Homo-oligomer: A and B are copies of this chain.
């Protein structure tokens, strides 16, 4: 592997641990826990892993005697900065417990467990990946561990390798499945523990006990770097509106944090759109009004942040898509006969008036995408919609109308950007490097103490690392029942942006000023070696949530 100068320098970084994990560790158990909702149902589904106590680690005077143990690890789902540090923390943790402990990595995600594809992660391998981005040490994948035959296939290889515990690093769904697996192995008395780790750049796996998911910090800082650079360009050239879409499956945490970091003229928050039942036209009108007001002050430039999941949060768009899905599924043959140039009119003629009007208002490219690009289940592939171009085109049309009516005088030219892959595998910030390493280290301690169905938890994250609180949270504690594909399922509650939360409130209090004036802030690239106020700050989201 050819390495950059930064990779080489960064390999030497020793991540910081909470004080309790630096020497000998003992367990302090809290009170029994309950799930956040649907307690009866969750308890019924998880008889062996429900109601367990919160775990907190404390420094001990002497080492607990613990035999060598074999541990397996899986990376599940989309990449997030710091995955390699969870694994190196886990490795160092199990080796500290006993030097003859072994760590196995299952390859390319949960599928590696089912298909028995794995490697032993030795010190040589681990040392190549410390403090690096990416999941390439063992790869990741999106296979869902949900079925009994998968659990049984997995158990075969776990038994063969003498693996005492499996650590699953993933988002809300993967951790839900980790808990189902923990329950299954416990019910079967297989003697295999399962521990989860909270990963996702989306930032939507968080709650009272999980302050943030790992990777969010590094990803939003990387996006904020390039957004800041674009804003500076915008404010120098003074001739473009930059429409920037930001990855994030459904929640708008990424867009909101980037807005707090860079102070753009507009940031759309999907959760607000839904709460206020805003239409696409409402959003377009809002942006166009900001453009027009700035133009009136001589400023024909600006920056707009858009969360990737927006379309599905617009209630009227959701209704349109639902009707389109049903209609096209029922009339696929007839639709296939319609001449290409007539498809749009055909669809308009068949939809209910409200949906027809919205469909008719969409730019041609998006309308075509909605009627043609469908997934194998016949559903619209919303993630393919270039929302940044959709909005800028509609804003341009609206401004053209206003110009005719004399309500707008200015020039409107747009540039488009979409950031996602640019930040998911960035080398972890000091925060994520420390946080992830601690998560992995705490997972090892949970295993040594015989725990299963727990998520590794590190809290008090706005304090210096030595003051962080480490422990474990029963995964069932975070669960409720939700409808998924027509069935009620136990799942970890997804954390959307709370409109009454401090981060959104801070944004809402400033956005009018940001829209009118030019208040851009330029965070610059993540720094690893400089002054602590530059290198070691958690996200604004975390800081604001903790102030409260």
Contact = CB atoms under 8 A, between A and B. Distances in A.
A233 B81 CA distance: 10
Interface in A37-78: 78
Interface stretch (A112-120, A220-228, A270-278, A351-359): A220-228
A537 B5 contact: yes
B415 A421 contact: yes
A450 to B, nearest CB: 32
A25 interface: no
A235 B134 contact: yes
A317 interface: no
Contacts of A424: 229, 233
Contacts of A3: 521-522
A537 B415 CA distance: 32
Interface string A78-111: 1100000000000000000000000000001000
A524 B226 contact: no
A232 B108 CA distance: 14
B2 A263 contact: yes
Contact of A79 (B237, B341, B417, B422): B237
A524 B425 contact: no
B134 A422 contact: no
A370 B190 CA distance: 65
Interface in A129-157: 132-136, 139-140
Interface string A200-227: 0000000000000000000000100110
B136 A235 contact: yes
A79 B427 contact: no
A140 B229 contact: no
Contacts of A136: 232, 235-236
Contact of A238 (B139, B242, B530): B139
A533 interface: yes
A523 B233 contact: no
Contacts of A415: 421
A525 interface: yes
A364 to B, nearest CB: 11
A528 B526 contact: no
A189 interface: no
B4 A523 contact: yes
A340 B415 CA distance: 27
B229 A425 contact: yes
Contacts of A140: 236-237
A417 to B, nearest CB: 7
Interface stretch (A6-14, A160-168, A172-180, A288-296): A6-14
Contacts of A2: 263, 519, 521
Contacts of A79: 232-233, 236-237
Contacts of A229: 133, 222, 421-426
Interface in A15-41: none
Interface string A513-548: 000000101111111111101100100000000000
Leading 8 A-B pairs by shortest Cβ distance: A525-B525, A529-B530, A232-B425, A134-B232, A6-B524, A135-B236, A233-B425, A226-B422
